[in-house]
Structure 1
Amino acid sequence: MTYAQPSHCDGADTVPLMPAWVTAGRPETSEDVAFLSGAALAHLHFAVSQDDVPQALLRARLALSAAEACVVLSGRPERASDLRDALHLIRPGDHPGPAGAIYHQWWTAVTRPISVPVLKRAVPDGLETHVPVWLAAVQGGPVRQAAAVLEAVLADHPTEEASALIMADAALARGVGWSHLMPILAMGLKRRELRLAGADLTTACHSAVTRSSTDALRIAADLTRRAAYLRAVTPKLRAKGASAAVDIFLTRDAAAPAALTSLMSDRAARRLCDRLVDLGAVRELTGRDTFRLYGV
């Protein structure tokens, strides 16, 4: 998923992209694959730890990509725009549908620090009691731990790809030492690779980490530039509650004007969104005249 770079973000290029030697050529052995994934994870860890990187926004954007990948795995037709609608425009008490439920799982998993209670809320009803057992399947380094958890979940529930990938990414994040889950494996693993086991699955996870870490860095660099510009134009906003509204855009992949009405009136929220679009600080994401969503 790529986005145009604002032309007014000079000086915000603080996220170093993946070194070319990590992605150049094809590794010939499983040891090569493991070495490159370790290098990719180390670089990703360093790069996204920079102070200017909007961490919550990055996780939210990656969660959307991970959810879309899981929806594709399930054979459903919904894509990112449909998932955004299902999460951000749903009325209280309504069910988001199967695809929207997958996105809600990822959203739940990334918004709070990793813990057993959070992961229990991120899996469908009836699976929450298995979470501590699945997490106990870990052994070895971070990627091997993630592969072991992935295999354990799919052995119990072969059709629960989203839950399995959430648990695997949680194991990967804990192994690396991240406080929050960062969707990585879900964006890189192919359907056929989810049916592998043992060393073959671990090797597939190493390859997925290298691919997805590179993509995550590109997204992080883009969001960091965009977030820097949004922060820069915030003093130009005169609406009451504008700074708090900006904080919402810096932590969510998308937001409807209604999400800002706890800070200002509905009319003021719509005017603020339009003002931010005019400034080039946020984008209208739907292309619609009504039920609009906005995001960095």
Structure 2
Amino acid sequence: MAARADVWPELTAARLWPTMETLQLWAQIVGKTRLSQTPWLNHGWHVTLRVSARGLTTGLIPHGAVGFSMEFDFIAGALVIRVSDGGERRIVLKSGTVADFYAGVQDALTALGVACHIDLTPNEMAEATPFPLDEQFRTYDPEAARDYWRALVQVNRVFGLFRTGFLGKCSPIQLFWGAFDLAVTRFSGRRAPLHPGGVPNLPDAVTREAYSHEVSSAGFWPGDPGREPAFYAYAYPAPKGFEAAPVSPVAAHWDAGLGEFILPYAAVRAEDDPDAALCAFLETTYQAAADLAAWDREALECPRGTPRHPRWVG
């Protein structure tokens, strides 16, 4: 079933964008709540969201003697906040203002006994109106959100398979709410040059810590008014000749403006075997980065994992 295009929902930027912009701002409020309570973990891995069986979740957030989680439940159409003492609150996901959503989250956390103070300015967005002051009406289409999440379920599965073929340091499969992309990143183990920073509304110290070591990274992004949903792959630092490396499938190409390889989501969905097409993109872009940067591939790689079979060590 996973090889059939009908399990990969049709996604277009025109349909997704208004809802994705709204969801990105909401996700920043939720992600910053996790950030405020969680000790710093390398490369910002402590602030991300994960794909769940119903949407996107923070996982368990520590708060004194209790823990709580926040989950965008796209099936029920609510942000569900649960506390380990049994408390629960739901905030309906609907069109409205970011200010109202922020107030609803804060009221729910306070009522549950897990109030948190967060940084109020959105990150990595050109428009950085503080959440309590953002009174612009925002659109939320629950069907678009559900289709986006359905796509994430498939992407998460294929990224998970790709991740098993690497013995070195590798990130979880996680959604960064700053750029709003689902990503997986492999590391060579070597230090990288100091990143120049300059990401909009993001402290340079955060960017430099995130890119402290050499990476080959790939991800999925839902698009914007000027670009369709797509997969991407890049290396930092990009080795000489990376942009000219041969990659698969044929729809993949180098985007000089973005400085990364791009594979349109629609091209993957149109393939007879979308899983194989996406895996080819992940593998060939990684191989280009690893070969051109002289990674120790023999020490870092292993066969992909299969269910119920431990990796053979002779």
TM beyond 0.5: no
Greater strand share, 1 or 2?
Answer: 2
Q: TM-score, normalised by structure 2?
A: 0.30
Greater helix share, 1 or 2?
Answer: 1
